[in-house]
Amino acid sequence: AAFSLHARTRTQRYHLHAHEQYTAECARAARAARTPFYANGDVYTWEDAERLWGLDRGVTGVMLGRGAIIKPWLPREIKERQTLDVRSGERFETLRRFVDYGLLHWGCDSHGVETTRGFLLQWLAFLCQYVPVGMLALTPHEAPLRYNPALVHRPPLARMWGRDDLETLMLSSSAQDWVRISEMLLGPPPPAFRFVPKHQSNAWAAGGDSKGR
């Protein structure tokens, strides 16, 4: 038997950091019971993973959640113990592979294309939260506050400019821009297409509407 812990309350959701003190208490209890224990919560860099491992010897491993959705290369960073500056071209190729897998699974007909588009757009709602480390004034381990790409505070209607046009598009919090990225991979959506993010707070559209159309 083994268990994992995501040390965050339901009411807290994602607005505050996970409770590491409680994680450490559970790790000590797991160690006393000789039970494998996997810690989870706020793992966005390899330093975050090592911090959880260092809470107590009872931490067997670290479970990834949103960090791996926002940064699919996070396991590689943890393995190599380095922060990677993944440029827009490489990230776009990751999206292309995702689309290829979707079409292989659901088919290349209109149903398969639009099903793949739906999952791609929901993923883009998370991917846009990543601010490339090459754009930061300080690298994560140098910053005075813990770097958390999911909690980057920026005005909801502010436009962030990347190092190239594609990176700028990927930084956008607009659902309409996510649809534009999907068009680059899957072609235009049907005329009546309407996209509503599951996490509507992640998106805004022209005129302040949170629903992409």
Higher pLDDT, 3 or 91: 91
3-class secondary structure, 158? coil
Contact 194, 118 (CB under 8 A): no
Q: Is the dihedral of CA 129, 130, 135, 141 positive or negative?
A: positive
Question: Whole-prediction pTM value?
Answer: 0.80
pLDDT of residue 148: 55
16 exposure class (CB count in 10 Å sphere: 0-12, 13-18, 19+): exposed
Cα–Cα distance measured from residue 197 to residue 203, given in angstroms and rounded to the nearest whole number: 7
Mean pLDDT of 76-103: 95
Model confidence at 176, pLDDT cuts 50, 70, 90, reads very high
pLDDT tens digits along 103-157: 999 999 999 999 999 999 999 999 988 888 888 765 555 555 455 554 444 445 4
pLDDT tens digits along 35-59: 999 999 889 889 999 989 988 889 9
